[in-house]
Structure 1
Amino acid sequence: MAAETPCSVLYNDIRSFGGLKHLEIARMLINGNSYLGSTLLEKCSSNRSYLTRYIVHREPDQCAPAIYSDFAVTTLNLSAAICSKLGGGESAYQAIAEHYRGPAANEMMSALASYKLDSRLYANALNHIDNFDGNAVREKSTLYLMLFVATGALADPIQGVATVERFCDSKTGGHFGTTETTVGRGFTGSLEQPRTVAPNLGLLRTHADNCVDMQIHPLTRDPRGTVIGSLPKTSPSITDVGADASREHLRIWLEGGRWYAQGLGSTNGTVLESGAGDGDIVIEPPRDQREPGKIYPPVEIENSDRLHLGLYTTFLVIVD
């Protein structure tokens, strides 16, 4: 059986959880005045066969962003409709929040992974919503649902996250940012220069119990480098990070046969722990410890070093 697409997860979940028919969902999501190819979608709004084949079960590479209405408005309308089906009141919004933070999110991430889309980016966005400045259940339920709807409709977690970010910045007054931790590792250490590195490197995520993930994250040789963070906007990137890593936390690139790492203005900073036993080297202090106007230069990294991003993310540098 073929894997369920992100779009079909969207439609099927809202039908089963929210009690809305596919046709009702489509009428909220899609701009009837738009065209899919040469077809005016308003004329197909009641054609169930067309809806099922060309809208609900669209493959990720067939998605057409131009057919959709504003996702913020759509989400608010869907939220109100689902809330009504669930009986209304704060308990309904609580149920929406729990569902789209829990089982529905898991289904969407599974669909993304099936199509080799970045499910970690979706998971990181959920963590950012968890820490969102707004505390009202209704606000968070809207954000969880909006992430689900935009990601599913577009089959693109990057655009799904961007939709939620824009909504937070312009509508809620909240900040879709990184939770600031009290102290990073080794930020009182010196800023001495490190040494040479091997020509091909990768990163392995390690944990406090000394467990090491088996997945190697290769570092690109492309001059643009690799961005590490919870919600990076560029590719290639590594999103296997903890809750206090910034959206774009650290960049690593190859230049002149040497590998360099530089902070990207992160909230909680980065420290390099020397694999040669030469102590800790600050790549970028936490935001509240940085000197105003100071630019922190790139730091060379090498095999067996450890990179500590904030408190909760550590990577072992290895020869790949």
Structure 2
Amino acid sequence: MSSTSIEALFALFKGEFGVSHRELATLILSSHPLADGMSPAQRAENTTWLTRYVVHAPMDSLQDRLFADFNLSARRVHHLLGQRCRADRDIFQVINGSSIMTNALGSADQKALVYRNALLRLNASFDDATEKARAALILTIASGCTDNVTLAIGLAQAYLRSNGLPFHEATPCPDALAQPSSDSPSIDTPPDSIGLIRLIDNRVASGPYRISTSGAGTTIGALALGKDAIADVNVDVSAEHLRVWRSQGHWLAQDLNSTNGSALIRSNGSCVFLTPGASVEIVPGDCIKLANNTLFSVIAMAAESSTAKEDA
């Protein structure tokens, strides 16, 4: 049976840091009283209540009012771990090296990939071990309590920004009706559906990611979230790096002002470097290179059936 993100949170701190369920609950649950006059933190003294209504509760039953402010929770947990002589570098390494939370987040909307990418980006962003540990605690506690990785990343980002530290800057969305550039390839009939296959060392490393036919298309990036997003990338890929979408029967790609750039490698071996803001038509047989070595092959796919769309 797979764990929920809240179960993973309690398991992580108990297994890796020796923090009991009750100890963690007193640090992350709200001290504001509920209707009966008792706060969630006070109720946590009752092991049966804590187990049933928090640790093993369905995620959709966990209300926001149960939890303290996540920044406050992270400070409390950080203080407790410091009292137990856990170094900041160790705290981050344990969180970054554990698979408990990523396994619980699962593959839905690629939350696990985005959570993992956020930790990798955090590790590469700056050297301050204390701030790195605190940001990782915010990210992990908020993800565990809400199952909302977007919210968790936003809180970690806001914390770092308030302390003058880098993490992730948002990138703009392209115009869904942008026209292909003049160097677009000639193709008689573009396919109705395309997908991307991740290549690592010239070997297929993923199943095909179907590109959305909606106006917004598909966003690719280390922190890209959503039903149609692709986050299966290396750490040097920007948070929202590239968008692929369909316009007037053509498939277009546009770099979203990425840090390390994008390139399109045609089937004839020629290479087109994408200028941010300019759309380039892509066709099956092309390869899209993001940053230094994240490579996707463009393939034609059978049109998605109406039944499959309904199931999705």
Aligned residue runs from structure 1 range 166-205, under 5 A: 166-170=158-162, 172-177=163-168, 192-196=183-187, 197-205=190-198
Q: Deviation at 1:222?
A: 1.3
**In the superposition, relative to structure 1, how do residues 115 and 212 fare at CA in structure 2: closer, same or farther (>3 Å)?**
closer
Say yes or no: does 1:231 pair with 2:223: yes
Q: Which runs of 4+ in 1 moved over 4 A?
A: 34-40, 114-117
* Alpha-carbon distance in 2 for matches of 1:143, 1:257: 44
Could you say which residue in structure 2 is the equivalent of 1:218? 210
Say yes or no: does 1:121 pair with 2:114: yes
Could you say which residue in structure 2 is the equivalent of 1:165? 157
The 3-state SS of whatever aligns with 1:11 is helix
The 3-state SS of whatever aligns with 2:57 is coil
**In the superposition, relative to structure 1, how do residues 148 and 132 fare at CA in structure 2: closer, same or farther (>3 Å)?**
same
Q: Deviation at 1:280?
A: 1.7
TM-score by length of 1: 0.82
**In the superposition, relative to structure 1, how do residues 125 and 191 fare at CA in structure 2: closer, same or farther (>3 Å)?**
farther
Deviations 1:146-175 (A, max 9, x none): 2221111111222222221111111x2111
Unaligned 5+ runs, structure 1: 179-189, 286-295
Say yes or no: does 1:54 pair with 2:53: yes
Q: Is the 8 A contact 2:74 2:138 kept in 1?
A: yes
Q: Deviation at 1:114?
A: 7.0
Could you say which residue in structure 2 is the equivalent of 1:312? 293
**In the superposition, relative to structure 1, how do residues 319 and 66 fare at CA in structure 2: closer, same or farther (>3 Å)?**
farther
Q: Is the 8 A contact 2:109 2:228 kept in 1?
A: no
> What one-letter code is carried by the residue in structure 2 that aligns with 1:54?
Y
The 3-state SS of whatever aligns with 2:106 is helix
Match of 1:282 among 273, 276, 280: 273
Q: Is the 8 A contact 2:222 2:238 kept in 1?
A: yes
Could you say which residue in structure 2 is the equivalent of 1:100? 95
Q: Deviation at 1:212?
A: 1.4
Q: Is the 8 A contact 2:289 2:295 kept in 1?
A: yes
Q: Is the 8 A contact 1:303 1:317 kept in 2?
A: yes
* Alpha-carbon distance in 1 for matches of 2:77, 2:35: 23
Q: Deviation at 1:37?
A: 12
* Alpha-carbon distance in 2 for matches of 1:111, 1:247: 22
Q: Is the 8 A contact 2:255 2:261 kept in 1?
A: yes
Deviations 1:44-92 (A, max 9, x none): 232221111111112333333343222112111101101212x36xxx2
Say yes or no: does 1:155 pair with 2:131: no
User: Root-mean-square deviation (CA), in Å?
Assistant: 2.5
Q: Percent identity?
A: 27
**In the superposition, relative to structure 1, how do residues 138 and 36 fare at CA in structure 2: closer, same or farther (>3 Å)?**
farther
The 3-state SS of whatever aligns with 1:158 is helix
The 3-state SS of whatever aligns with 1:49 is helix
**In the superposition, relative to structure 1, how do residues 42 and 79 fare at CA in structure 2: closer, same or farther (>3 Å)?**
closer
* Alpha-carbon distance in 2 for matches of 1:270, 1:230: 14
Q: Deviation at 1:195?
A: 3.2
Say yes or no: does 1:272 pair with 2:278: no
Aligned residue runs from structure 1 range 123-142, under 5 A: 123-133=116-126, 135-142=127-134
Could you say which residue in structure 2 is the equivalent of 1:184? none
